[in-house]
Structure 1
Amino acid sequence: MLVLTKADIKKVFTMKDAIHADKEALRMYAQGKSVVPLRVNIDIPKEQGQSLFMPAYVEELDATGIKIVSVFPKNIEIGKPSVPAQMILMDGKTGEVCAIMDGTYLTQLRTGAVQGAATDILAREDAKIAVLFGTGGQAGTQLEAMLNVRDLEEVRVFDINFERAKQFAAEMQQEFAHFNTRIIAVEDGNEAVKDADIITTVTTSRRPVFDGTLVKKGVHVNGVGAYTPEMQELPETIVQQADKVIFDTKEGVLAEAGDFIIPMQKGIVSEEDFEGDLGQVILGEVKGRETEQEITLFKSVGTAVLDVVTAHQIYKKALALNVGQSVEL
């Protein structure tokens, strides 16, 4: 059994690798080549947190696995990841555990990458300005993914804590200096979105984080943070006005995401208003952006097929490069 730390994963796997892995994962999901039960969510009210258990089997890769991930927003106050996790990868032919890896970084990587995949496929090619809402544990890879798929001149970072936004922007400016993109903290999220080409939200907010009536035609919006029926970081106007609405998985989003459950309950939108899954766009079964003026919207709540496919590719690369620690139990 191979044990892989965050440092080990970074040695063998880039964001570009992860974006490719996520596109493959969603393709396989759309083709019915995976078994992905809806994840089990256990509320931990005492800590305002949740623990999630996410299993999947991917026939094409002969791989199965389960990620155990928790979402504890208050962890950021004590300097710990707000999304701690471990990934257990198993051999699909024997059922044996072949690897355990840092699921926190895997989650950050594949979650950033699925947004990167959607932005690559749906955003305008000439996108130059992006806005990122949220600076928690997922934010760094969300930013990295956007930078990898579009030649951005400026990324504006908003957080309810402006000091935290300034610190995050300064750290990211240094880490991603090679992209030659200005990364700046902003105090007014509504002002920031007015001329933005890409908007990515990665918060646990229960109310919309910006005014959807302010966005311009041609914008691409990614809703990545809200993942329960009570959370709603996307404005209902965007959900209603978007020309193309694409999901990581329709089954997961409509079962779990308040961004869509709430406006559907109000009768603002219905299931007929949504195009389908990103995997179907990749396969050419569903149309993505067709004009520069269209508003496109991508919503992700995460799916274990992303974890298993990404973990499997990390594991194969680590074996080939002799990275990680082998353990016998």
Structure 2
Amino acid sequence: MEVISANDINKGYSMKEAMKSIEDFHNYKEDSYISPDRMHVEDGKNTALLMPAFYGNYYSTKLVGVAPNNSSKGKDTIHSLMILYDRETMVPLFMCDGIAITSLRTGALGGLGMKYLAKNDAKTLGIIGTGTQGWSHMQSAMVARDIEEVHIFNRTKEKADQFKLKAEKEFPNVHFHVSSIEDLVKQSDIIVTATTSPQPVLPELSPLDWKGKLIVGVGSFRPDMQEITDQVLQEADEVYVDFNSALHESGDMIRAKDLKPNLEESLNLETIITEEHFPSSPENKTILFKSVGAAIFDLIVTKSIYEKLYK
């Protein structure tokens, strides 16, 4: 069995390839897949997740631990292992750092949401939360759109400043700003919420301030977590999800169902991609894309990495 580090993955595989692997899966998949809802085990504020999936010749499972208080201890919030198996024999083929897979997969899903759902001339990005997923969504935004300017907000300004310095080295042609959350929303065409906050992190603004914007919500994955304000949930003209399980796993979507009728009819990413769905007049709408991820997407990205680097 091959064992690969996050550093090796990041050197040999790109966000662009991750986005393409998921897009190709939806467009060209030949077999059915099995991707049960992930198993959640709550331990106080911490969460353990078990995420199996089956597709083609492969079976995979991801083991995840989420500890929101780790940021105050100088540790990553998420720790994870990803294992890919031969589906027929169940022989393990490949084990890797699951955080790298989660980062690529989650960023890729958000990036595909940006590609299909943001207005045509979207050039400004706002990142709320400067952890792993804030970074991965900045990477995918650069693939999905011609981003010229990025506004950054984090509860701890020091972390926002560090994020800005790292981003300026990685993307020297893009302008970066550490901004207030109000300025970030007002000046951004695409807004990413990537926090583990149990309470909404977006500000209360005039409804007109939200028009023409795509909000990509990626942080809330438990029923008791809500990043998106009731105002945005209620006034969003169109709501989309990456996978139907988002409608009952995320506190954002559970709350949205209380505020909006027919939310169960929201289009998922598979429909968006296969039907080449683009919102009409997105420059006049508030659009929400909620992403919680699913085990099948972890499998697809891991399969793509394994077949590129080891087959």
Indicate the residue corresponding to 1:282 in structure 2. 273
> Once the two structures are superposed, what CA deviation does each residue of 1:145-169 show, in whole Å capped at 9, x if it has no partner?
1122111121111111112211211
In the alignment, which residue of structure 1 is the partner of 2:8?
Answer: 8
Aligned pairs for 1:168-179 within 5 A: 168-177=163-172
* Mapped partners of 1:13, 1:306: distance in 2: 16
Q: Is the 8 A contact 2:26 2:274 kept in 1?
A: no
Give, in angstroms, the shift of residue 207 of structure 1: 1.8
Q: How does 1:140-219 map to 2 (within 5 A)?
A: 140-177=135-172, 180-186=173-179, 188-211=180-203, 213-214=205-206, 215-219=209-213
User: Residue 26 of structure 1 contacts residue 248 of structure 1 at CA under 8 Å; is this kept in 2?
Assistant: no
2:151–2:188: 8 Å Cα contact kept in structure 1? no
1:232 equivalent in alignment to 2:226: yes
1:41 matched to which residue of 2? 40
Structure 1 residue 107, shift from structure 2 partner: 0.6
CA–CA distance in structure 2, aligned partners of residues 130 and 295 of structure 1: 15
Aligned positions of 1:90-109 closer than 5 A: 90-109=85-104
1:85 counterpart (76, 80, 83): 80
Residue among 246, 259, 262 paired with 1:253 = 246
Deviation string, structure 1 residues 185-230 (Cα, Å, up to 9, x no partner) = 12x2022211321000001112211135443422111000001111
What is the letter of the counterpart of residue 308 of structure 1?
Answer: L
Amino acid at match of 1:70: G
Question: TM-score w.r.t. structure 2 length?
Answer: 0.93
Q: Which runs of 5+ in 1 are unaligned?
A: 321-329
Rounded to whole Å, the distance in 1 between the matches of 2:155 and 2:27 is 36
Structure 1 residue 272: Cα displacement:
4.2
One-letter amino acid matched to 2:99 = T
User: 1:126 and 1:274 mapped to 2: Cα distance?
Assistant: 28
Decide whether the 8 Å contact of 2:216 with 2:289 is kept in 1: yes
* Aligned-partner SS, 1:84: strand
The answer to whether 1:318 aligns with 2:303 is no
Corresponding pairs, count: 308
| TM-score (ref. length: structure 1) | 0.88
Name the amino acid aligned to 2:278: G
Distance in 2 of aligned mates of 1:90 and 1:212: 47
Structure 1 residues 183 and 126: alpha-carbon distance in aligned structure 2, compared to 1, 3 A threshold: same
Identity of aligned residues (%): 33
**Structure 2 residue 52 is the aligned partner of structure 1 residue 55:** yes
Which residue is equivalent to 1:21? 21
CA distance in 2: counterparts of 1:127 and 1:62, whole angstroms: 39
Displacement, 1:15? 0.7
Aligned residues of 1:200 and 1:222 also touching (Cα < 8 A):
yes
| Per-residue deviation, 1:24 | 3.4
The question of 1:271 aligning with 2:270 is answered: no
1:292-303 to 2 correspondences below 5 Å: 292-303=283-294
Q: 1:112 aligns with which of 87, 107, 116?
A: 107
Deviations 1:217-254 (A, max 9, x none): 2211100000111111011222222222111112x112
Whether contact under 8 Å (1:27, 1:280) holds in the other structure is no
Is this contact kept in 2: 1:157–1:185, CA < 8 A? yes
Q: Name the SS for the 1:156 alignment partner.
A: strand
Alignment partner of 2:9: what SS?
A: helix
Report the CA distance between 1:25 and its aligned residue. 4.2
Superposition RMSD in Å: 2.0
Query: 1:245–1:274: 8 Å Cα contact kept in structure 2?
Result: no
Secondary structure of 1:194 counterpart: helix
Contact 1:226–1:258 (CA under 8 A) maintained in structure 2: yes
